[in-house]
Structure 1
Amino acid sequence: MDAEGGNGKEEARKTGLGGLPLLGGSHGSVRSVGSDLQLRQMLDSLKSLKTPAVINYGASWCSVCSQILPPFCRFSNEFKNFTFIYTDIDGCPETTQNIRYTPTFHFYRDGERVDEMLGAGEERLHDRLWLHS
């Protein structure tokens, strides 16, 4: 419970993914992963689903992550064949220990990581999604 009697994690869930506020309050079809266990399970499920996916590794303290998250959510509605996943690196310290830059985007096809994009850029992200769709 926080100082005002509410649950801080619950409030973060309502305001945005991983505590990041989203413009318009919409998450599109982005799945939020908040723990190492959830991220490992999500990565395992990508292998069995064989669908294209993109994981956005961000951080609540990263201003660039905050800027790219709304377009990422919008793109989840445009590229419906993709599975869109957001994870805050601070919530998954074991599974994200090799992430050295935020945001980092990992692209998956047939359960295997096929590409990585470091940094933001709405047009760059859109082009990568188009390339992998």
Structure 2
Amino acid sequence: MEGGAKKNESSNMKTASTDEDLSDILLQIRASKTPAVINYGASWCRVCNQILPAFQQFSKKFPKLSFVYADIDECPETTQHIRYTPTFQFYRDGERVDEMFGAGEERLHDRLWLHS
């Protein structure tokens, strides 16, 4: 993510740019019980870059969800379990309840609707 994209307009969208960031965010998700979705992507992944603008738009459309973007290259320790990019993980009451591999705006929208 370039060009100052780390600071997002939407308050429910966070970007983890280090392992420490992502660890802190995961702790917050577990503690707050707020429903959340984490988008694990990579700057070199074409599909990740295509879905990211939609992910950011959806963060405005689903204000009850916390949205997180984590680049697997910037957070190598905390994302070593991620095998595909993009991977979307959905959390409810501090627990991971769902996972979606790959993009697809409509699929993602439906999953977000389901978990919001």
TM-score, normalising length from structure 2? Answer: 0.93
Of all paired residues, the percent bearing the same amino acid is: 62
Q: State the partner residue of 2:56.
A: 73
CA contact (8 A) 1:27 1:73 kept: no
Q: Give RMSD over aligned pairs.
A: 1.5
Matched position secondary structure for 1:96:
coil
Question: What number of residue pairs does the alignment pair up?
Answer: 114
Separation in structure 1 between the aligned mates of residue 115 and residue 108 of structure 2, nearest angstrom: 11
Aligned ranges 1:82-101 → 2 under 5 Å = 82-101=65-84
CA contact (8 A) 1:36 1:94 kept: yes
Q: Which of these residues, 78, 101, 105, is aligned with residue 122 of structure 1?
A: 105
Q: Which runs of 5+ in 1 are unaligned?
A: 1-10, 18-25
More displaced, 29-38 or 98-107? Answer: 29-38
TM-score, normalising length from structure 1? Answer: 0.81
Structure possessing the higher radius of gyration over alpha carbons: 1
Q: Which runs of 5+ in 2 are unaligned?
A: none
- Structure whose residues are more often helix by fraction: 1
Structure showing greater relative contact order (alpha-carbon pairs closer than 8 Å, 6 or more residues apart) = 2
Separation in structure 1 between the aligned mates of residue 3 and residue 14 of structure 2, nearest angstrom: 12
